[in-house]
Chains A and B, each alone.
Chain A
Amino acid sequence: MAEIGHGGKEIVERILSPGEAAEKIKGLTQVPIRAQIANEVIGLAYGFFCPLEGFMGKADVDSVCKNMRLANGAVWSIPILFDLSEAEISDYGIKEGDSIVLTYQGNPMALFEVEEIFEYDKKEMCQATFGTTEERHPGCARTYEYKDKFLGGKITLLTEPKINPPFDPYFLPPLKMRKAIKEKGWERTVVHQTRNVPHTGHEWLMKGAWLQTYGELPIEKPLVGVIVNAIIGAKRKGDYIDEAIILTHDELRKAGYFGDHNHLTSLTFWDMRYAGPKEAIFHAALRTNLGITHHMYGRDHAGVGDYYGTYEAHHLLASVKDDLKITPVYSMNWLYCPHCGEVTSEGLCNHRDEWQKFSGTLIRSIVMDGVKPPRLIFRPEVFDLVMECAEKYGFGSPFVTDEYLEKRTPVFTIPPLSA
Chain B
Amino acid sequence: MAEEKYPINIWINEERYQKLQEAGLADMCEEMLAGLKVLRVYANEEQKDKILKVFPTAKFDASTTKSIELLPREVKDKIFDKIVEKRSVDILDEFLADY
Point out residues on A near B: beta carbons under 8 Å: 238, 300, 333, 336, 338, 341, 356-359, 361-362, 364-366, 368-371, 373-377
Contact = CB atoms under 8 A, between A and B. Distances in A.
A358 B13 contact: no
A238 B57 contact: yes
Contacts of A357: 64-65
Q: Which of A358, A362, A376 has the most CB of B within 10 A?
A: A362
Interface residues of B, number: 24
A358 B11 contact: no
A359 B65 contact: yes
Contact of B64 (A359, A369, A373, A375): A359
A368 B70 contact: yes
B34 A336 contact: yes
Given A369-B11, A369-B13, A362 B65 contact: yes
Contacts of B73: 368-370
22 contacts: A238-B57, A238-B70, A333-B64, A341-B34, A358-B33, A359-B65, A361-B59, A362-B9, A362-B67, A365-B11, A366-B36, A370-B11, A370-B13, A370-B15, A370-B73, A373-B33, A373-B36, A374-B34, A374-B35, A377-B33, A377-B34, A377-B36
Given A238-B57, A362-B65, A369-B76, A374 B33 contact: yes
B20 to A, nearest CB: 14
Binding site secondary structure of chain A: loop
Interface in B14-52: 15, 32-36
A365 B7 CA distance: 13
Given A356-B32, A369-B76, A361 B13 contact: no
B16 to A, nearest CB: 8
A413 B9 CA distance: 42
A77 B63 CA distance: 26
A356 B35 CA distance: 12
Contacts of A376: 33-34
A343 to B, nearest CB: 9
B36 A362 contact: no
A362 B15 contact: no
Contacts of A333: 64
A173 to B, nearest CB: 33
B61 A371 contact: no
Nearest to B17: A371
A347 B8 CA distance: 28
B15 to A, nearest CB: 7
A368 B63 CA distance: 20
B9 A371 contact: no
A376 B35 CA distance: 9
Contacts of A368: 70, 72-73
A300 B62 CA distance: 13
B12 interface: yes
Given A238-B57, A371-B12, A336 B33 contact: yes
Nearest to A372: B13
A374 B76 CA distance: 21
Given A362-B61, A373-B36, A374-B34, 14 more contacts: A300-B63, A333-B64, A338-B34, A358-B64, A359-B63, A359-B65, A361-B65, A361-B69, A362-B65, A369-B73, A371-B11, A371-B13, A373-B33, A374-B35
